Amino acid sequence: MPELSQWVGNLPLSQMMRRITWLIPVLQSLHILSIGMVLASVVMIDLRVWGVSRAGTLAATGRRFLPWLWIAVAVATVTGIGLMFGAPRSWRDGAFLAKLYLMGAAAVATLALPLVLRWNGGAEEKDDRFVAGFVATAALVLWLGATLAGRGRWIAGMLGG
């Protein structure tokens, strides 16, 4: 029973992708750029939620940065799927598994963001900011974790994975 990554790697699509020598590096570059935008957007939202920035309401901050966050996540997802086919990684790779779990959790936090930012209609209720702060901080930590795990083969090596 061949391993999944080997099975994917043997697909005609996968082999074709690797034959176009510049394709994988280009996909990786776009992946890194879009992840950068994801992280930056979350940082800007967090700065407002933490109170470091005072510009506008939480809702206005959401309206300003969430669209860019979503576009960036979309590009990261498309390039990520492309990379899964063109340069498949083994499910036994501990770092890759960690990345997938962290990404899943980050996606949940990201989906919750527009909700927690909009609950605060006009007045800055203390409770609203606490919830928003928790979700926004979690989103940043999780996306950062997923980013590091993306290149975290050394962690897997240390754990013997």
Partner 1 sequence: MALYVAQSPFGFSALDMIHIAAIAVVFGMIALLDLRLIGVAFTDYPVTALSRQVLPWTWAAFALSAITGALMFTGQAVKYSVNFGFQMKIVLMAIAGINVLVFHFITYRGVAKWDRDATVPLAGKLAGGISLACWIAIVFYGRFTAYYHYP
> Site residues (CB under 8 A) for partner 1?
25-26, 28-29, 32-33, 35-41, 43-44, 47, 52-53, 55, 64, 68, 144, 147-148, 150-154, 157-158
Task: Answer for the pair 88, 5: CB distance below 8 angstroms, yes or no.
Answer: yes
In this complex, which beta carbon is closest to partner 1, that of residue 38 or of residue 116? 38
CA 139 to chain centroid, in Å, comes to 9
Phi-psi region of 55 (alpha: psi -120 to 50; beta: other; left: phi over 0): beta
- Nearer to partner 1 (CB atom), residue 4 or residue 49: 49
Shortest CB 47 distance to partner 1, Å = 6
Q: Which is nearer to partner 1, 92 or 151 (CB)?
A: 151
User: Smallest distance from the beta carbon of 103 to partner 1, in angstroms?
Assistant: 14
Spatial distance between the Cα atoms of 128 and 137, rounded to a whole number of angstroms: 14
Q: Which is nearer to partner 1, 50 or 130 (CB)?
A: 50
Q: For residue 157, what are its two tokens?
A: 């090596």
Burial class (CB in 10 A: 0-12, 13-18, 19+), 151: exposed
Q: How far is the CB of 134 from partner 1 (least distance, A)?
A: 21
Q: CB of 7: closest distance to partner 1 in angstroms?
A: 25
- Cα 150 → chain centroid: 10
